[in-house]
Amino acid sequence: MQAGDTRLGAYWMPFTANRDFKRAPRVIREARGHHYVADDGRQIYDLVAGLWTSGLGHCHPHIVAAIKDQLDVLDYAMAFQMGHEKAFVLAEQLVGLAPDGFTHCFFTNSGSEAVDSALKIALGYHRARGEAGRTRLIGRERGYHGVNFGGLSVGGMSPNRNAFSACLIPGVDHLRATGDLDHTAFSRGQPEWGAHLADDLQRIAALHDASNIAAVIVEPVAGSTGVLPPPVGYLERLREICDRHGILLIFDEVITAFGRLGKPFAADYFGVTPDIITTAKGLTNGVIPMGAVLVRDHVHAAFMQGPAHLIELFHGYTYSGHPVAAAAGIATLEVYRQEGTFEAAAELAQSFEDLLHSFVGHPLVIDVRNQGLMGAIELASRADTPGARGLEAHKRCFWEEDLVIRNGADTLMFSPFLNSSAGDWEIAFDGVRRVLDTLE
């Protein structure tokens, strides 16, 4: 599809500069393994693995076959007051994969829905235990928890919130962001500076009285804001303060779960166990929309009281645990196990870090950050047009270097395939470098 194609008109694209895009559309026709095929036939190497989604590569044959098989048997079954086997099997496998103590799984269709479900579960948990006054929710500046009103309210990415400011849910506070270029720039992995920022939670608890606070939600590694690894000791301190005050800790692992850090969950990687984990993306390798909220036993148990014929949680989606998504999820977990994906990703992390940090010293680069197979290169913004340089880098990578990279304003983000080879990355990052070398 080219500029002027009348079919381009109707589609209002998400998180996209629509008018700019439609002047020179970047359209994908096919995908296989680590490459897209663009509309014009070019093979495009994908350095973002979809949108942090497709760690196993595109169109993985085992997952594709599972979906096709499922469609021959059961397309849909009513999700309320009825069930089908694959949803139960997937839930059991997910809690089996989760850190010790996680016993139940609630299905959604996206990360945003997983976050809003988790927030509701946190509120319901306290109410069920007789602490209905615990309603305040704590998020973090620069956090991204999707685009529904709950996630938007606890999220901290200003452009996403601005237009909806008056409608965000009340009773929300934010911890400060953990990234601070003066103290953390060019850290390899977790910055040494910043554990004290977790004490914001203590300060907020003192301000409101902890008995009013339901939960705090953070991404263990903030992703969409441009990859901010947690300072050494930060997550541990959050856990400690939550324990002290009876506040639930929610890890939003929509990006970090399923091997992005070389472990099943970031909770395993950092050795800090939250009460609730939200996931999506890698749950089905991005093939079919699905999200999940995983909860520890005490959270679930709090709801299981009262007459058994009554609904315990008045919440759910028509497509919760959809058969085709569940089949994709089961197949994806099988591939992770059979191919040793998480271990392979862990082994690649050092090469990825080294490649990213080879950009240190480049005249346009003001920070490089990484954790596991999440990475970011932050470019200095042009004085008059913040964000323009990053978008131009993304576009030129696509047109000139046959590469997909992601930009969030002037930060370039990378989340390569978990089953990559460092050799492929060297070639890809040479392309990124050629673009940066000639970028104004």
Which CB atom, from 53 or from 190, has the smaller least distance to ligand PLP?
53
| Residue 225 near ligand PLP by CB under 6 A | no
Which CB atom, from 50 or from 124, has the smaller least distance to ligand PLP?
50
| Residue 223 near ligand PLP by CB under 6 A | yes
CA 80 from chain center: how many Å?
Answer: 27
Q: Between residue 357 and residue 396, which ones bind ligand PLP under the rule CB under 6 A?
A: none
Token reading at 422: 């460092």
Question: Is 326 in contact with 87 (CB distance < 8 Å)?
Answer: yes
Torsion of CA 43, 49, 50, 51, to 10 degrees: -140
Do the bridges between strand 172-175 and strand 136-140 make them parallel or antiparallel, or are there none, so unpaired? parallel
| Residue 419 near ligand PLP by CB under 6 A | no
Question: Is 317 in contact with 280 (CB distance < 8 Å)?
Answer: no
Which CB atom, from 117 or from 273, has the smaller least distance to ligand PLP?
117
In the complex, the smallest distance separating the C-beta of residue 244 from ligand PLP, rounded to whole angstroms, is 26
* Pure H helices in 312-421: 323-338, 341-357, 388-401
Which CB atom, from 86 or from 281, has the smaller least distance to ligand PLP?
281
Q: Is 143 exposed, middle or buried (0-12, 13-18, 19+ CB in 10 A)?
A: buried
Would the CA dihedral through 281, 11, 48, 180 be positive or negative? Answer: negative
Site size with ligand PLP, rule: CB under 6 A? 14
Please enumerate in sequence order all residues whose Cβ is within 8 A of that of 264, keeping only pairs 6 or more positions apart, or say none: 97, 98, 257, 258, 342
Ranked by CB distance to ligand PLP, the top (closest) residue is 111
Please enumerate in sequence order all residues whose Cβ is within 8 A of that of 38, keeping only pairs 6 or more positions apart, or say none: 26, 27, 28, 29, 44, 398, 402
| Residue 230 near ligand PLP by CB under 6 A | no
In the complex, the smallest distance separating the C-beta of residue 73 from ligand PLP, rounded to whole angstroms, is 27
Write each residue from 241 to 270 as x if it is in contact with ligand PLP (CB under 6 A), else as -, in one continuous string: -----------x-xx---------------
Interface region with ligand PLP, contact rule CB under 6 A, candidates 106-114, 120-128, 318-326, 369-377: 106-114
| Residue 116 near ligand PLP by CB under 6 A | no
How many of the other CB atoms lie within 10 Å of CB of 315? Answer: 14
Interface region with ligand PLP, contact rule CB under 6 A, candidates 1-9, 140-148, 166-174, 175-183: 140-148
Which CB atom, from 179 or from 431, has the smaller least distance to ligand PLP?
179
Among 119, 276, 280, 345, binds ligand PLP (CB under 6 A): 280
In the complex, the smallest distance separating the C-beta of residue 252 from ligand PLP, rounded to whole angstroms, is 4
Which CB atom, from 408 or from 431, has the smaller least distance to ligand PLP?
408
| Residue 353 near ligand PLP by CB under 6 A | no
Do the bridges between strand 403-404 and strand 43-46 make them parallel or antiparallel, or are there none, so unpaired? parallel
Token reading at 233: 């000791």
| CA-wise closest residue to 174 among 204, 202, 144, 211 | 204
Token reading at 427: 């070639």
Among 112, 135, 341, 370, binds ligand PLP (CB under 6 A): 112
| Residue 219 near ligand PLP by CB under 6 A | yes
Which residues in this chain contact ligand PLP in the complex, by CB under 6 A? 110-112, 115, 144-146, 219, 223-224, 252, 254-255, 280
